[in-house]
Amino acid sequence: MTADITLVDKVIVVTGASRGIGAAIATAAANVGASVVLASRKQEGLDAVAEQIRAQGGIALPIATHTGQPKAVDALFEAVIGEFGAVHGLVNNAATNVYFGPLLGIDEAAWDKTFEVNVKGYFNAARAFATRTKGGSIVNIASISGMRAAPLQGVYGMTKAAVISMTQSLAVELGPGNIRVNAIAPGLVETRFAQSLVDDDEMRKHFVDRTALGRHGQPDEIAGAAVYLLSEAASYMTGQVMVLDGGMTAT
């Protein structure tokens, strides 16, 4: 019997939820019944997304959090447990890409910042979630940049490759505890994060011309996959990377 894609009675934490893919995932999860906890660095952006979700009849709790700081992440999850009594899903989406240029040209501060947010932040949240749940689903937002060469975004690509490796290792280690861990690897998606690529005609053409669908993606097109992975419809799926890139890696 096929499970319905529903998150009724589930509590889902989404990091990087103040805009873009994170906001779209949080909204989609709320639309299928989840109580969503929105985490990001700035409270103002979270409040705006929470207000939109509540206006549609959903339940949203916005909590400003620096995921690169373990104590802050622990405080986030303690607040979630205090408010809802349980947590069932985590979407690791908060990310940064502070340097665009030749790989050998990056400075140490930019390197450290990228790894702190994109790798350490994911790990901090995954550990905090796994130690407070009796079973559930982790969805890590990776990138096709972590699956192939990422010219001019080399360190960002390294962090996303690390996310994919982390996903697979955690899937094996956490499986006996009934925690599934999967990743989504988007291609170019129109968000503020990727705005410099989308707005640059030459760069956008570089990506779009290599996709089978001939276009870049939208945040809502990533959200549906995340909701599926969070739900019982994906109950036998773990340790996998779902690629959503318009066919770019197939060409």
pLDDT tens track for 48-63: 999 999 999 999 999 9
Q: Which carries the bigger pLDDT value, residue 200 or residue 122?
A: 122
Tell me, rounded to whole angstroms, the distance of Cα 52 from its chain centroid.
20
DSSP conformational letter for 104 = G
Q: Which CATH number fits domain 11-244: 3.40.50.20, 1.10.10.10, 3.30.360.10, 3.40.50.720?
A: 3.40.50.720
Q: What is the mean pLDDT of residues 209-235?
A: 93
Q: To the nearest 10°, the Cα dihedral for 201, 204, 210, 212?
A: -110
Q: How confident is the model at residue 1 (pLDDT cuts 50, 70, 90)?
A: very low
What's the pLDDT tens digit per position in 178-213? 999 999 999 988 766 555 566 666 666 777 878 889
Q: What is the mean pLDDT of residues 60-87?
A: 98
Q: What is the mean pLDDT of residues 115-125?
A: 98
pLDDT at residue 189, rounded to an integer? 87
Catalytic positions: 156
Helix ranges (H only) for the chain are 20-31, 43-55, 70-84, 108-115, 121-130, 154-174, 195-199, 201-208, 219-230
Q: What is the mean pLDDT of residues 152-163?
A: 96
Domain ranges of the chain: 11-244
φ and ψ at 243, to 5 degrees? -95, 125
Least trusted range by pLDDT, from 158-162, 202-206, 223-227: 202-206
Q: What share of the chain is helix, strand, coil (3-state, %, to 5)?
A: 50, 15, 35
pLDDT at residue 196, rounded to an integer? 59
State how beta strands 179-186 and 241-244 pair. parallel
Average confidence score pLDDT of the chain: 93
3-class SS of residue 212:
coil
